[in-house]
Amino acid sequence: MATQKPAITVSSLDMDRLEALLDKLPQNFPGRDALEAELDRADVLDPQDMPADVVTMNSTVRFSLQGTENSQTLTLVYPKEVDGSPDKVSVFATVGTALLGLRIGDTFELPSPTGKVVTVKVEAITYQPERSGELHR
C-alpha cells in the first residue's frame, strides 16, 4: 500500500526557473512527467518567505534510508549543473524530484535498484540558497 506523499513547498523563483526549463524540453525527457506532477501539487512561496527547513533548488540535503545506518548528502541541481560529481543530483532524477520541496523530518518512498521500496528520511539541510540570501544560484 502506497503512503501519502508529504506536502511540498517551492519558491516562486524555483517554480519560474523549472517551468521555463520544462517548456524547453521535449515531452519525452526522462523525469519530466514526475517533476511536472510534483510542481502541480506544490505550495508556492516567495523566496524571502521560504522556511529554512525546506529543500529548494541548490540546497544541500542529508537524508537516510530508514532501517539502516546509511545516510547520504546531495545538492539538488538543475540538469546543466550535473557534472558527474557524486554529491550532486538532478531535479529530474527520481531522488531529486522526490526531495524538492520537502521539509526536514519528511519521509518518502523510492524504488531501490533491486526493485524493493525503501523509505528515505530528510535529516538535515546543510545549505539553502534562500536562507543564505543567494537567490542568483
- What would the pLDDT profile of 90-118 be if each residue is shown by its tens digit? 999 999 999 999 999 999 988 877 888 88
Computed over every residue of the chain, the mean pLDDT equals 90
Tell which CATH classification among 3.10.50.30, 3.10.310.40, 3.30.70.1170, 3.40.190.10 matches the domain 9-130: 3.10.50.30
3-state secondary structure the chain: CCCCCCCCEEEHHHHHHHHHHHHHCCCCCCCHHHHHHHHHCCEEECHHHCCCCECCCCCEEEEEECCCCCEEEEEEECHHHCCCCCCEEECCCHHHHHHCCCECCCEEEEECCCCCEEEEEEEEEEECHHHHCCCCC
Listed residue (9, 22, 13) closest to 136, CA to CA: 13
Distance CA 124, CA 22 (A): 28
Q: Nearest 5°: phi and psi at 67?
A: 85, 5
- Above pLDDT 70, what percent of the chain? 96
The Cβ of residue 67 has, within 10 Å, a number of other Cβ atoms equal to: 8
Q: How confident is the model at residue 53 (pLDDT cuts 50, 70, 90)?
A: very high
Give the model's pLDDT for residue 117: 86
On the question of pLDDT at 54 being above 50, the answer is yes
- What does the pLDDT average to over 52-81? 92
- For 13-51, the pLDDT digits (tens) are 999 999 999 999 999 999 999 999 999 999 999 999 999
pLDDT > 60? residue 1: no
Residue 135: is its pLDDT beyond 70?
no
The residues spanned by each domain of the chain are 9-130
What pLDDT is attached to residue 103? 97
Determine the pLDDT at residue 101. Answer: 97
